[in-house]
């Protein structure tokens, strides 16, 4: 836009220069034409031939018409240089305002298109979740390996669209599913997705109820969402025995959402976790930043409940 403005200002200056030059020529020609009329009138004797008198009279009339027309033009365009520049500035300001409005409109359209793409992706994920639940209901028997396979597929389906759903791009991130092991009394990570395979295959800490953000979400039976883990007001979310804390935790898990996997307020069966090193990636004041996680956690809870019922029978 800056280059267009420079080009427009140069065009305005060129136009003003040409208009000023033309006006000056008209101002010069008017007295010359007046002098010619006077000369023709004074130097055309009455004794001259009629043809000469007629030609002189015609030329005088033509010059007078020229004088009148261009005098009117001079009067109508009689603006000072300041006025002309002022008008040009107003025109430029209107152009800038129009360009600004157009830019804002483009941003609005882009945001709407982005949100539409996000809603389409969420709808696709929800459809996939429904399909898995339908399959689980129809099957007469379900072993945990099949259940784990379904949970991995659903998590992968969400992680594939993490940029659209959560604006997660080139950064440290983590999506994990923890299931509560009644025998050990710990929340154990059954699947995790991170930027590299090496990070995914690294050991993952189990958490007891009330330990760290995973254990506290499980204990509180409600979503625990943190915009910035270094905020003193939320440091309590990360309390855990010293042996389980690592020096990089607050930097790597700068923003997070820990969603209990539960059905209608019942005892949670596990916790769905998403983290990012970017501040504000998940925001407790904006449910849109973690809404897909809520849908996935409910689906996981439904699947696990179906598994438990069919395992008992």
pLDDT at 40 over 80: no
Q: How far is CA 201 from the centre of its chain?
A: 35
pLDDT in the model for residue 10: 67
**In the CATH scheme, what is the code of domain 143-312?**
3.30.450.40
pLDDT at 257 over 60: yes
Please report which confidence band the pLDDT of residue 284 belongs to, taking 50, 70 and 90 as the band edges.
very high
pLDDT in the model for residue 244: 79
| pLDDT tens readout for residues 228-237 | 988 888 887 8
In the predicted model, what is the mean pLDDT of the chain?
Answer: 79
Beta strands in 121-236 (DSSP E): 173-181, 186-193, 207-208, 224-226
pLDDT at 208 over 80: yes
Alpha carbons within 13 A on the beta-carbon side of 111? 6
pLDDT in the model for residue 309: 82
Residue in 36, 23, 44, 45 with CA at minimum distance from that of residue 65: 36
Cβ neighbours of 116 (radius 10 Å): 10
DSSP track, 183-206: TTTEEEEEEEE-SSHHHHHS----
Pick the range with the lowest mean pLDDT from 91-95, 127-131, 175-179, 212-216: 91-95
Torsion over CA of 235, 240, 242 and 244, rounded to 10 degrees?
Answer: -110
| pLDDT tens readout for residues 84-136 | 556 666 766 776 777 677 777 777 777 667 666 766 767 777 777 777 777 77
CA gap 86, 92 in Å, rounded = 10
CA gap 95, 8 in Å, rounded = 10
Which residue reads 């009329």 in tokens? 37
Q: Is the dihedral of CA 190, 193, 198, 203 positive or negative?
A: negative
Three-class DSSP category at 257 = strand
Per the model's pLDDT, the better-predicted residue between 133 and 206 turns out to be: 206
- Joined together, the tokens standing for residue 42 give 């004074």
pLDDT in the model for residue 63: 65
pLDDT at 303 over 60: yes
């Amino acid at each position: 836009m800056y280059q267009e403005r420079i080009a427009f200002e140069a065009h305005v200056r060129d136009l003003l220069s040409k208009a000023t030059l033309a006006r000056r020529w008209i101002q010069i020609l008017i007295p010359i034409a007046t002098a010619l009329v006077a000369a023709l009138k004074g130097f055309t004797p009455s004794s001259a031939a009629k043809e000469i008198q007629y030609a002189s009279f015609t030329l005088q009339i033509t010059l007078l018409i020229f004088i009148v027309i261009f005098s009117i033009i001079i009067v109508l365009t009689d603006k000072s240089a300041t006025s002309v520049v002022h008008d040009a500035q107003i025109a430029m300001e209107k152009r800038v305002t129009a360009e600004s409005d157009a830019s804002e409109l483009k941003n609005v359209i882009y945001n709407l298109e982005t949100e539409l793409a996000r809603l389409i992706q969420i709808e696709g994920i929800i459809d996939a979740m429904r399909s898995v639940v339908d399959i689980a209901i129809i099957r007469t028997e379900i072993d945990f390996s099949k259940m784990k396979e379904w949970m991995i597929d659903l998590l992968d389906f969400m992680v594939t669209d993490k940029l659209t759903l959560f604006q997660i791009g080139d950064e440290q991130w983590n999506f994990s599913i923890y299931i509560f092991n009644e025998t050990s009394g710990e929340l154990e990570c059954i699947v995790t997705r991170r930027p590299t395979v090496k990070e995914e295959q690294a050991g993952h800490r189990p958490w007891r109820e009330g330990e760290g953000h995973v254990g506290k979400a499980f204990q509180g039976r409600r979503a625990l969402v943190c915009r910035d883990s270094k905020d003193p007001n939320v440091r309590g979310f990360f309390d855990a025995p010293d042996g389980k804390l690592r020096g990089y935790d607050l930097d790597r898990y700068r923003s997070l959402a820990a969603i209990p996997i539960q059905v209608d307020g019942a005892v949670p069966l596990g916790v769905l976790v998403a983290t990012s090193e970017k501040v504000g990636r998940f925001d407790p004041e904006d449910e849109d930043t973690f809404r897909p996680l809520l849908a996935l956690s409910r689906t996981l809870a439904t699947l696990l409940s179906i598994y438990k019922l069919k395992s008992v029978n």
